[in-house]
C-alpha cells in the first residue's frame, strides 16, 4: 500500500525510497484501523521548526476510509509529540475536503516548474 500512498507525489519519492526512509527512523508509519481491521496507512514526521513543532503528514493511503475519521487520533499523536500544528500537502480536491471536514487552512502553496 505504500506504493499507492506516494502516487500523488509527482515522482518526488518512490515506495522503495519511502521504505528506506522508514527503516532509518526518519518518518513514522501509522496504521488506521476500523473494527480492528486496517483500512489505511500513513507516514508522518515531526518537524522541529524554530518557533513550533509540526506533525507533517507525508503520505496517506486509505481508500474508502474518511481521513476525518482518524483526525482525532492524529491530533492526539501530534500533542503526544509536542506539536502545535498538523500540516500536509494536498491536491486541490483533497485540500478542500481537509478544510471543510478537519479545519485545515492554507499556510502557503508549493509550486514548481521544470528547468
**pLDDT one-digit tens code per residue, 85-112:** 999 888 888 889 889 988 999 998 877 7
Confidence of residue 59 (pLDDT cuts 50, 70, 90): confident
Q: What percent of the chain has pLDDT over 90?
A: 42
Domain boundaries, the chain: 2-102
Q: Using the predicted structure, report yes or no on whether residue 64 has a pLDDT greater than 80.
A: no
Mean of pLDDT over the chain:
87
pLDDT of amino acid 87: 93
Residue range 2-102, CATH number: 3.40.630.30
Strands (DSSP E) along 9-101, which ranges? 28-34, 37-49, 52-61, 85-88
> Cα separation of 9 and 6, whole Å?
5
Res. 22: pLDDT tops 90: yes
- Phi-psi category of 103—alpha, beta or left, where left has phi over 0 and alpha has psi -120 to 50? left
Amino acid at each position: 500500500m505504500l506504493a499507492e500512498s506516494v502516487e500523488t507525489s509527482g515522482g518526488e519519492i518512490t515506495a522503495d525510497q519511502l521504505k528506506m526512509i522508514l527503516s532509518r527512523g526518519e518518518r513514522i508509519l501509522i496504521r488506521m484501523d476500523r473494527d480492528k481491521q486496517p483500512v489505511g496507512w500513513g507516514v508522518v514526521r515531526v518537524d522541529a521548526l524554530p518557533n513550533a513543532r509540526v506533525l507533517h503528514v507525508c503520505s496517506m493511503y486509505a481508500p474508502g476510509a474518511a481521513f476525518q475519521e482518524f483526525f482525532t487520533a492524529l491530533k492526539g499523536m501530534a500533542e503526544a509529540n509536542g506539536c502545535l500544528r498538523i500540516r500536509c500537502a494536498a491536491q486541490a480536491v483533497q485540500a478542500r475536503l481537509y478544510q471543510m471536514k478537519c479545519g485545515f487552512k492554507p499556510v502557503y502553496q508549493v509550486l514548481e516548474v521544470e528547468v
